[in-house]
């Protein structure tokens, strides 16, 4: 089954249609996949049109904010390990369609470029769309449009809007599955989830309470629920904090695969777990979104950094 996109995917054609000199250009990225490069006076970000996937966020003079595996595979049909995969319309295993691949299909399809523009002459903004098609219908029987808007100001803002184009309501779960680059997992802590409840995915979804700041000493895979709070990833090795604000989300997933799981993943280096942690702005676990016909819902995150 193949799907053609509504807009071109060749960088030259995309530059002709949407390029904004100095601020937004399209290029051939890793694996030959087309990418959009957004740049302003503060930072650069690279977005793969395949997957609607943010691959990098580089504030000037800083270590990369996002982590991507050296073993990441840049091939259509495969998920890219790192950056910010778009998880939609199910987080983890699909409850209704258990044979479907985990984390939905949005990260494994090529999106359409809807627009690329400048706001206030300095803030580049990229808007991608994904519409239901033969592949999505073979996995999930609903009509929808996803709109992904990525804005680079002194922060990186990502908004994922889901629109129900069916005659019936549908349910979905989702995540902006952000992989952050850290100096060493042993030198980081996560603030913002103290005294919050979570489902421990490594302990049969047992409900537990996070007492203090999160630190990492073993595999961690927790879905925090009933939380709208900003998370702060404190990295004493890099001397910075990454601030992860969110809207439209009452769940946050915190994941590090540690040693054994890293070894089991073919697109993840055995030792790479030292330098990453996922803090995912999500609609996951009990945070299921029901969209009525014609309805829409936005899941948003703003990522910024501060020196410690």
Residues at the site binding ligand BG6, with contacts judged by CB under 6 A:
79, 102-103, 177, 201, 221, 253, 255, 280
Residue (240 or 246) nearer to ligand BG6, CB: 246
Q: At its nearest, how many Å lie between ligand BG6 and the CB of residue 93?
A: 9
Report the alpha-carbon distance of residue 112 to residue 129 in Å, rounded. 5
Q: At its nearest, how many Å lie between ligand BG6 and the CB of residue 140?
A: 17
Report the alpha-carbon distance of residue 36 to residue 101 in Å, rounded. 27
Helix (H, G, I), strand (E, B) or coil at 135: helix
Q: What is the enclosing helix (H) or strand (E) of 246? A: strand 240-247
Residue (20 or 275) nearer to ligand BG6, CB: 275
- The catalytic residues are 177, 280
Q: At its nearest, how many Å lie between ligand BG6 and the CB of residue 221?
A: 5
Residue (42 or 71) nearer to ligand BG6, CB: 71
Q: At its nearest, how many Å lie between ligand BG6 and the CB of residue 1?
A: 21
Residues 6+ away with beta carbon under 8 Å from 24: 18, 36, 37, 38, 39, 116, 117, 118, 124, 126
Q: At its nearest, how many Å lie between ligand BG6 and the CB of residue 256?
A: 10
Report the alpha-carbon distance of residue 173 to residue 25 in Å, rounded. 32
Q: What residue spans of the chain are helical by DSSP H?
A: 11-18, 134-139, 258-264
Residue (224 or 238) nearer to ligand BG6, CB: 224
Report the alpha-carbon distance of residue 151 to residue 248 in Å, rounded. 17
Report the alpha-carbon distance of residue 110 to residue 53 in Å, rounded. 10
Q: How many CB atoms lie within 10 A of CB 118?
A: 15
Report the alpha-carbon distance of residue 40 to residue 151 in Å, rounded. 11
Q: Burial level of 7, CB count in 10 A (0-12/13-18/19+)?
A: middle
Contact assessment for residue 206 and residue 240, using Cβ atoms and an 8 Å cutoff:
no
Residue (221 or 241) nearer to ligand BG6, CB: 221
Residue (147 or 280) nearer to ligand BG6, CB: 280
Q: List the one residue out of 268, 264, 270 whose CA is nearest residue 72.
A: 268
Beta-bridge partner residues of 87: 175
Q: State the number of CA atoms in the 13 A half-sphere of 22 facing the CB.
A: 6
Q: At its nearest, how many Å lie between ligand BG6 and the CB of residue 15?
A: 31
């Amino acid at each position: 089954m193949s799907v053609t996109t509504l807009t071109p995917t060749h960088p030259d054609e995309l530059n002709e249609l949407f390029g904004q000199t100095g601020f937004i250009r399209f290029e051939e990225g890793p694996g030959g996949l087309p990418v959009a490069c957004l740049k302003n006076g503060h930072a650069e970000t690279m977005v793969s049109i395949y997957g609607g996937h943010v691959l990098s966020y580089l504030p000037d003079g800083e270590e990369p904010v996002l982590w991507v595996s050296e073993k990441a595979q840049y091939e259509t049909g495969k998920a890219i390990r790192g950056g910010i995969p778009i998880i939609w319309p199910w987080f983890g295993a699909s409850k209704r369609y258990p044979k479907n691949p985990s984390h939905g299909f949005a990260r494994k399809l090529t999106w359409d470029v809807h627009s690329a523009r400048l706001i206030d002459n300095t803030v580049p903004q990229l808007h991608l769309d994904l519409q239901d098609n033969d592949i999505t219908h073979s996995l999930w029987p609903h009509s929808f449009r996803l709109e992904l808007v990525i804005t680079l100001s002194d922060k990186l803002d990502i908004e994922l809007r889901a629109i129900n184009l069916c005659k019936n309501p549908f349910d979905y779960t989702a995540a902006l599955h952000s992989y952050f680059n850290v100096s060493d997992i042993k030198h980081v802590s996560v603030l913002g989830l103290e005294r919050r409840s979570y489902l421990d995915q490594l302990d049969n979804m047992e409900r537990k309470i996070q007492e203090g700041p999160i630190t990492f000493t073993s595999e961690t895979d927790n879905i925090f629920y009933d939380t709208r709070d900003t998370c702060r990833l404190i990295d004493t090795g890099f001397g910075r904090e990454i601030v992860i604000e969110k809207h439209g989300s009452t769940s946050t997933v915190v994941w590090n695969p540690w040693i054994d799981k890293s070894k089991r993943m073919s697109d993840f280096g055995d030792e790479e777990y030292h330098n990453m942690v996922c803090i995912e702005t999500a609609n996951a676990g009990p945070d299921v979104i029901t969209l009525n016909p014609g309805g829409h819902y936005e899941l948003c995150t703003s990522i910024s950094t501060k020196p410690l």
